[in-house]
Amino acid sequence: MISRLLVANRGEIARRVFASCRRLGIETVAVHSDADAGLPFVAEADHAVRLPGNAPADTYLRIDLLIEAARRSGADAVHPGYGFLSENADFARAVIDAGLTWVGPPPEAIEAMGDKVRAKEIAAAAGVPVLSAPDRPTETDLPLLVKASAGGGGRGMRVVRTLDRLDAEIEAARAEAKSAFGDGTVFVEPYVEAGRHVEVQVMADAAGVVAMGTRDCSVQRRHQKVVEEAPAPGLSPQTEAAMCEAAERLAEGIGYRGAGTVEFLHDPGADRFFFLEMNTRLQVEHPVTELVRGMDLVEAQLAVAEGRALPHDVPHRGGHAIEVRLYAEDATYVPQSGHLLTFDLPADGGFDLLGRSGVRVDSGFSSGDEVSTFYDAMLAKVMAWAPTREQAIRMLVGALERARIHGVTTNRDQLVDILGDPVFVAGEMTTTWLESRPISAESPSDSQASARTAVIAGALMLAADDAERRTVQQGIPAAWRNVVSQPQRTIFEGHEPVEWWGTRDGFVVDGVTVLGVSPTHARLESDGVTTETRGHMSSDAPGSPRELWVDGPLLSARLREVPRFTDPADAVASGSLLAPMPGTVVKVAVEAGTPVAAGDVVLVLEAMKMQHTVTAPHAGTVTEINVEPGAQVASGEVLAVVEEDA
């Protein structure tokens, strides 16, 4: 029996495993990097061990440090979570050799499926259809997909549409895979443009393997999943049964134990499917299966690790579950970092099976936490379980719209947009759908009326804040004048100015009745409808430009105050290439004095385990290079300057 479990991971998945351990009476041990020391998963563990440093290669990917942490903390078992070393056979062996219980499949099974080339051979031998690319591809074989053999989560994956880009994309995939997984091995396979990503959850013990139904994970950006649901919509019963049988055959053929996922590419036009890979671990999206099955998969993992038998008549609670991944990223999928001022997601539960239909939130962060640049950009998984798919969509949209997230840009509004798209509602999405459609960068407040309400509310909150801060004439109404010559003006970036007056009786704005204002609230009436809004300011420096988040019913806006006067020192030279995010410079492709064409790569940054290229905005000459490989840069920092040709 396991008495003290170390989770060799971080964030949301560490909290998820801890939640099951608490219910089972198992003590928990967290390991954490320096950047993660203040996060909730560390505080929730019974014991915690510091891994000095921040980079994954120095912390969560160090097998020796993790085994030593287990020894020092008195842990008798190790759960790998997902990502990092979760599919590393050497880590599994090291845990077992140290006399600890490994909560995962046998190292031999990890090894068999970890080499994705060998995994395809095993799948083919088991009668599972596979995709294969020729050794020397030609134009007729395009497009191709470069994939990391040890990869996952979209890292180390590149689509190649022209043969002249093949070598460069292979090199980029190798570098990204090496950074994320410690293994730069890649392979190439045909890329199916309009397929669906459907996977089967399996659980296995000594008595055999049981498939627990399908999940659809087709909504992806940059090969990373964004929306997942169970069961996969629109599959014929025959196809679903064939997928489950193929997954069971494959897992049984390698002597699998514990939780695993077999991933398939489904061609809806021909109603056929191909084996992609097997993930020998718990998936990020496992909760949607838990909700429709009514089974705690982490508890099942622990039972198998302890040598206990699983129920092979797996319950099926029914209904439909949908999960979205809430990322710290902007509308162009660039990861964001910073201080998470407010993180309030309405939920009926977290890390549990829910006793009735509702919303579950599995999060790695809380209000006040710092989102660093060292790890994945996912903040939380928000999921809804309801009797029907349509009800689950509506419930999930409502939860996202009511969320209050301040301090870091997220994809929340895009998730709402995706869930309401007719293609998604009809269940007709494919793996290329998301990146082929224009994703709205607008928030729920971007209808003309609600946007204006948010801007007016924000302007009045700033005025109320100014009035509270002043040290003289505190009894005088905000901006009050004996002789009024003109209204006060507040301007936010990208919005029309707000003109308002401060009177004895409060604020006056044309077309709006102001019922109440404070630095954190504004109650406005327009056309007979009263709207209650809440605000949160990011800056406490009096007189400095402020950033304000305004929330209300179907209303969420991030407002940046435009200062009355601009400091010339804030201006940057024309042609300056600015860092799109905080990160590390991994490559400088040119030198000062080098001529470049528009789109040529100038630098490569790495942030949150992903590589991002910084390209020349126009043809010209590189006149400045201000960084070198290994340098840490802040968002907005000038990296280089490309002077445009005359």
Taking residue 553's Cβ as centre, other Cβ atoms within 10 Å add up to 12
Q: Looking at the DSSP assignment, which residues form a beta bridge with residue 548?
A: 537, 559
pTM of the predicted model, to two decimals?
A: 0.83
Which of 338, 341, 343, 339 has the alpha carbon at shortest distance from 326? 343
Task: Compute, in degrees rounded to 10, the torsion defined by CA atoms 611, 613, 614, 617.
Answer: -150
> Mean of the pLDDT values across residues 203-211?
96
> Mean of the pLDDT values across residues 373-402?
96
Q: What pLDDT digit, counting tens, does each position of 339-351 carry?
A: 999 999 999 999 9
Please tell me the class of the 568-644 domain: mainly beta
For 196-441, CATH gives 3.30.470.20
Amino acid, res. 225: K
Kindly state the percentage of the chain with pLDDT values over 70.
94
Question: Distance of alpha carbon 479 from its chain centroid, rounded?
Answer: 44
Please tell me the class of the 132-190 domain: alpha beta
Report yes or no: 335 and 373 within 8 Å, Cβ to Cβ.
Answer: yes
The Cα 2–Cα 6 span in angstroms is 11
Report yes or no: 551 and 560 within 8 Å, Cβ to Cβ.
Answer: no
Element (H, E) at 575: none
Q: What pLDDT digit, counting tens, does each position of 56-104 carry?
A: 999 999 999 999 999 999 999 999 999 999 999 999 999 999 999 999 9
CB proximity list for 342: less than 8 A, separation 6 or greater: 367, 404, 405, 406, 407, 536, 549
Residue 488 pLDDT > 70: yes
> Mean of the pLDDT values across residues 271-283?
95
Which of 272, 369, 282 has the alpha carbon at shortest distance from 328? 369
- Strands of the 488-490 sheet, one edge to the other: 488-490, 498-503, 506-508
The Cα 110–Cα 280 span in angstroms is 6
- CB half-sphere exposure, 88, CA atoms < 13 A: 21
Task: Compute, in degrees rounded to 10, the torsion defined by CA atoms 317, 12, 104, 97.
Answer: -160
Q: Looking at the DSSP assignment, which residues form a beta bridge with residue 49?
A: 31
Range from 19-33, 81-95, 197-211, 564-578 carrying the lowest mean pLDDT: 564-578
Q: Give me the residue spans of the domains in the chain.
A: 4-103, 132-190, 196-441, 446-560, 568-644
Q: How confident is the model at residue 570 (pLDDT cuts 50, 70, 90)?
A: low
Report yes or no: 349 and 593 within 8 Å, Cβ to Cβ.
Answer: no
Q: How confident is the model at residue 243 (pLDDT cuts 50, 70, 90)?
A: very high
CATH classification number, 4-103, choose in 3.40.1360.10, 2.60.40.10, 3.30.300.30, 3.40.50.20: 3.40.50.20
472 compared with 274, residue with greater pLDDT? 274
Q: What pLDDT digit, counting tens, does each position of 354-381 carry?
A: 999 999 999 999 999 999 989 999 999 9
pLDDT at residue 484, as a whole number: 74
The phi-psi region of residue 368 (left if phi > 0; otherwise alpha if psi is between -120 and 50; otherwise beta) is left
Q: How confident is the model at residue 513 (pLDDT cuts 50, 70, 90)?
A: very high
Which of 374, 365, 383, 375 has the alpha carbon at shortest distance from 12? 365
